[in-house]
């Protein structure tokens, strides 16, 4: 695969990758670096890329791997409202966009209050759609540990959300 066909196949998915990376890592420049790293990695495997039937799925998998190292090293990231607003679709109504950006930003703030391992697990699962097996590989935790951490994190967030919800 030459650089031209590589660009044609993969570059159109850059935005989606960026949005996904931003939700996982919570920082726009880090997200962009991770997308670049993903492209660099795929280009390094360009000999094999002729056989890729679904470039988007291929990229998402590669990005997941790139994000794992980052999440391991930086566990306390959150998404600022401004950045959350940028990644919400322009097709939605203004009210919807604003509401969703607020929800996204506040959920990442709440996540920061969780213990480290719970944060890692829920971030990978919620924002990166990692399977339990992928999280096992990423964190070195056992299947049961991953599920327990995920359960605790979700229940804790529900508790915080309900408190918040009842106030409104």
Partner 1 sequence: MKKNNIDIEQLLRAFYEGSTTVAEEQAIERYFESHGEDVMPHLLADKKLFQALHRETMLQDACPEGLEDRLGSFVDSLDEHEKGETPVRWILWARIALVAASVLLAAGALAVFVFNNDMAIEEEVNKPTIANVHDTIKNESQASVSLAQTAETETNVSNELVPVTNAQTHRMVARKRSSGKPSNQREMTEEEAYEALQNTFSRMSTQVNQTSQEVKALEQNLTAAGNVINQHLNSNN
Query: Which residues here bind partner 1, judged by CB under 8 A?
Result: 3, 6-7, 10-11, 14-16, 18-20, 23, 28, 32, 35-37, 39-41, 43-47, 69, 73, 86-92, 96-97, 100, 103-104, 106-107, 122, 126-127, 129, 131, 146-151, 154-155, 157-158, 161-162, 165
Instruction: Choose between 18 and 58: whose C-beta lies nearer to partner 1.
Output: 18
Contact yes or no for 42/62 (Cβ under 8 A): yes
CB of 166 to partner 1, least distance (A): 8
Instruction: Choose between 116 and 131: whose C-beta lies nearer to partner 1.
Output: 131
Among the listed residues 80, 101, 107, the one whose alpha carbon sits nearest the alpha carbon of residue 89: 101
Q: How far from each other are the two terminal CA atoms of the chain, in whole angstroms?
A: 55
CA 85 centroid distance within chain:
16
Among the listed residues 115, 167, 159, the one whose alpha carbon sits nearest the alpha carbon of residue 141: 115
CB of 165 to partner 1, least distance (A): 4
Instruction: Choose between 76 and 162: whose C-beta lies nearer to partner 1.
Output: 162
CB of 37 to partner 1, least distance (A): 5
CB of 63 to partner 1, least distance (A): 13
CB of 53 to partner 1, least distance (A): 20
Enter the tokens of residue 34.
Answer: 């991770």
Please classify residue 20 by burial: count the beta carbons closer than 10 Å to its beta carbon, then call 0-12 exposed, 13-18 middle and 19+ buried: buried
Instruction: Choose between 6 and 55: whose C-beta lies nearer to partner 1.
Output: 6
Instruction: Choose between 32 and 55: whose C-beta lies nearer to partner 1.
Output: 32
């Amino acid at each position: 695969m030459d650089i031209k066909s590589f660009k044609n196949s993969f570059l159109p998915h850059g935005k989606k990758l960026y949005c996904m990376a931003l939700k996982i890592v919570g920082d726009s420049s880090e997200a962009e670096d991770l997308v670049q790293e993903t492209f660099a990695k795929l280009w390094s495997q360009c000999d094999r890329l002729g056989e890729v039937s679904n470039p988007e799925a291929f990229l998402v998998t590669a990005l997941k791997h790139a994000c794992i190292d980052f999440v391991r090293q930086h566990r306390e990231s959150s998404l600022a409202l401004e950045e959350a607003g940028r990644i919400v679709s322009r097709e939605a109504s203004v009210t919807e966009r604003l509401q969703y950006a607020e929800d996204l930003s506040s959920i990442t703030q709440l996540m920061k209050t969780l213990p480290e391992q719970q944060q890692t697990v829920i971030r990978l699962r919620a924002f990166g759609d990692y399977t339990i097996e992928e999280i096992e590989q990423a964190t070195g935790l056992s299947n049961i540990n991953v599920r327990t951490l995920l359960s605790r994190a979700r229940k804790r967030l529900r508790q915080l959300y309900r408190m918040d919800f009842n106030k409104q």
